[in-house]
Amino acid sequence: MILIIGGAGYVGSHVVKELLSQQHRVVVLDNLSTGHRVSVNKRAIFEKGDFRNSDDLDRVFSRYSIEAVIHAATYDVIGVQLLLKKMLVHQVYNFIFSSELPVSGMSYKDQIQEVYAPYPFVYQGNSSLIIEQVLEDFYKAYDLRYISLRYYNAVGADVSEGIGEDHQPETHLLPRMLLHLRDQEEQPFLVNRSYDTEDGTFVREYLHVMDVARAHVAALHSLLQHDKTNERYNISSEIGFSVMQLIEKCEIITGKKLNISYNSSSSTDLSIVVSSTNKIYRELGWKALCSIEEAIHSAWLWHNRFPSGYEHTELVYK
């Protein structure tokens, strides 16, 4: 059985769906602080609890025969250390770390490799990188096997499953665009300027959340088969889109126009962020299958089908 920490969240719920489609038995541990109970497929077992709580972890590990843990929750260093210690106590030695990395503090202007080191090192936003070091320490000391998956902007939805992106408040760029278009808000949509790119806006990569989910399952299978351990992989489409290019694609797909207002940015973030997936393709055979257009279209359908997000009652389960 696979334990997913944070399986009621956006990425976690899609990983649950993909695992179930591969005939895995799944148990979800989530405190529902940001996740949604209704997003968890009914074929998965749900346990409400917090991975930072010792009693919750003991309950789940004692109740189920867990062979691997996927962490798709908040990046709490102390909490992850507790989780890893409990795994050792209960003789569970396989761990997948799902890490949506921040952009701030990066020093690379070319395709980002798995070995990059942000500089200057900023603790805020980089706790995921500290966790990777903790994982390496546990691997060396206790042979706890891990794979860390790094990605930047998961987007899209699985409309047939009734799961999508529902944050309160929503801070991610693509869903904010789509909600602005859907609701035809009068207040302008603010776009930050970056003077280092062709059209003056930041360039980022966007990856369909189902491609993200498939990467987690590929990493899990490799780990369980002992093919790869203590590895870090980028998962990416390897294609960057500027904010203006993203707006144009959203407008074409929705048939609506975005009311834009430009804002001079004082951000020190890199203007262009695109990562390399040579390693995961070479070693695990994974590559992105979905286009940005497919991701936008699926997200647009989900936001229109469920206008109140997970407050809507007519969710579909497969």
Question: Where residue 46 sits, what CATH number does that domain have?
Answer: 3.40.50.720
Please report which helix (H) or strand (E) contains residue 296, including its range: helix 292-305
Contact assessment for residue 244 and residue 201, using Cβ atoms and an 8 Å cutoff: yes
- Please report whether residue 277 resides in a domain: yes
Unique residue bearing structure tokens 């074929």? 43
205: its two tokens: 């990569």
What pLDDT sits at residue 312?
Answer: 58
76 within some domain: yes
CA distance 229 to 206: 27
- Domain membership flag for residue 318: no
Question: What does the pLDDT look like over 22-37, one tens digit per residue?
Answer: 999 999 999 999 999 9
Q: How many CA atoms lie within 13 A of 305 on its CB side?
A: 18
Tell me, what amino acid is at 11? V
Give the number of residues written for the chain: 318
Evaluate whether residue 316 is within a structural domain.
no
Q: Which residues, 6 or more positions from 22, have their beta carbon under 8 angstroms from its beta carbon?
A: 217
Domain that holds residue 208: 2-311
The helix or strand, by DSSP H or E, that contains position 94, with its residue range, turns out to be: strand 94-100
Is the bond into 169 cis (omega within 30 degrees of 0)? yes
Residue 317 forms part of a structural domain:
no
* Contact status, residue 211 vs residue 288, Cβ threshold 8 Å: yes
Q: For the segment 208-252, what is each residue's pLDDT rounded down to a tens digit?
A: 999 999 999 999 999 999 888 899 999 999 999 999 999 999 999
In a domain, 272, yes or no: yes
Contact 94, 67 (CB under 8 A): yes
Say how many domains are in the chain: 1
Residue ranges, the chain, pLDDT below 70? 102-125, 265-270, 312-318
Q: What angle do CA 161, 164, 165 make, to 5 degrees?
A: 165
Instruction: Give the pLDDT of residue 316.
Output: 47
CA 214 to chain centre: 12
Q: What is the pLDDT of residue 103?
A: 54
